[in-house]
Structure 1
Amino acid sequence: MTATVDQDVEEVPSGGKVPLVELKNVGKMYGNITALKDISLRVHAGEVTGILGDNGAGKSTLIKIIAGYHPPSEGELLVDGQPARLASPKDALAKGIATVYQNLAVVPLMPVWRNFFLGQEIRKKSFPFSLDSNAMRATTLTELSKMGIDLPDVDVPIGSLSGGQRQCVAIARAVFFGARVLILDEPTAALGVKQSGVVLKYISAAKEAGFGVVFITHNPHHAHLVGDHFVLLNRGRQKLDCKYDDITLEHLTQEMAGGDELEALSHELRGKGA
């Protein structure tokens, strides 16, 4: 990946950098149901923030707030240190926040280049209603090459690519259309070991290029491989917030698995088997 993010950002009094995205005591209510409560986190340029949690932990709700689908019910969302109200994903993308969802929102039978520009097609200046297919093919090849994806034929249906390759095409697309913050929704959930490794390499490459990456996952091993900062959600609450140097994989896995609850269950099951 050769694309880079401008690192000349404002310094904060503490000596650190202003986060690309910051949440302060954010909560979300759906009627009488509390989906999130008191969530605070920072997404910095050149870092991967791992958001972990089991099903129902609040990860999807958190994505929707940062991506502009839903406003928070309480708390504050800041972009580049300034309060922001995101009314739609288009608003979020205008501020450099792009989300790559697990289902990728691709059309499997369409060629790679058509999916790359889906909804944002390039049209010929002389014929506004005619697609400039040559320009889109060339751009797709160039942008995938920047990501290190060797795909000589972008006319193949995107459904014929491996899961890892499709994820990387989606990431390259988000970068091309102006993302500085990449929100990746369970990108390795449906992949095998080898393809997961491909995606993790590109997440690491995005970090090295200066992008802020939000890596949503329920896999602590994958998060620990590329993450710089970890936030663990449990039933809409923030259970853990720490940096890579402050936690081991074993501890992260234990916290993710339930810690004391898992140990109690283990004793109970052993007792029944005795």
Structure 2
Amino acid sequence: MRALILSDIHGNLEALNAVLEAAGSYDVLWNLGDVVGYGASPNETVERIRSLAQMNVRGNHDRVCCGLASAVGFNPVARAAAMWTQKEMSEVNRAWLAAVPQGPLHPEGFPGIVLAHGSPLNEDQYILTMRDAWGPLQQSGTLITFIGHTHLQGGFCQHSEEWHELHPRYETPNEVESWVLDLTQGTRYLINPGSVGQPRDHDWRAAFAIYDSEAESITFHRVPYDLTAAQGRILMAELPEKLALRLREGR
């Protein structure tokens, strides 16, 4: 079974379309949250994910943009985007987003797998360092937990007394690339597929991952997309210019 894992699309339709085209064949699609916020195509991205994903986990921007939570804790740029998105989304899409469950979720047919947005312990927690990963890995009863939220592709793993950070290695900027992680028995993993719509690891390309349960591997991917069109949508919507500029910078 092959699972396509997406996270942090953030209303970037051009990036989402490029990822879906590059992903090839898969059996299920898992969405780890933050379908909207920042980008200027909230309705289109929600509708594509609604039609394709078998499992969805809500993200913090999803929660705010559909009206379940306040934007008070967001910085001014994120708040402006969330308020615009809330008004721009159709009633049907807002209702769908409001019904998306909080993680962690256990996908049927994939024993030992958990899906979350920030952390399986707290949906809003950022797992950025080994210190952050220690608690979730120690307390996890599953082999692999897929998370998003940080917009950083990679992850962490623990085997007995050994702890490691995982960083995909790419060599050809601006082109399609992939990096395979072969899974080791007896090891627990926290895996972030990276952000589809707003990467923050200084690589502007859209990020995603594919989990292959039979091959016992996770393949990380990066794909270029129509960046100019995504930026143009943001500027035409009169969203903060910073949201367009940061897409090129990958941060």
TM-score, structure 2 as length reference: 0.31
Larger radius of gyration: 1
TM-score, structure 1 as length reference: 0.30
Larger fraction in helix: 1
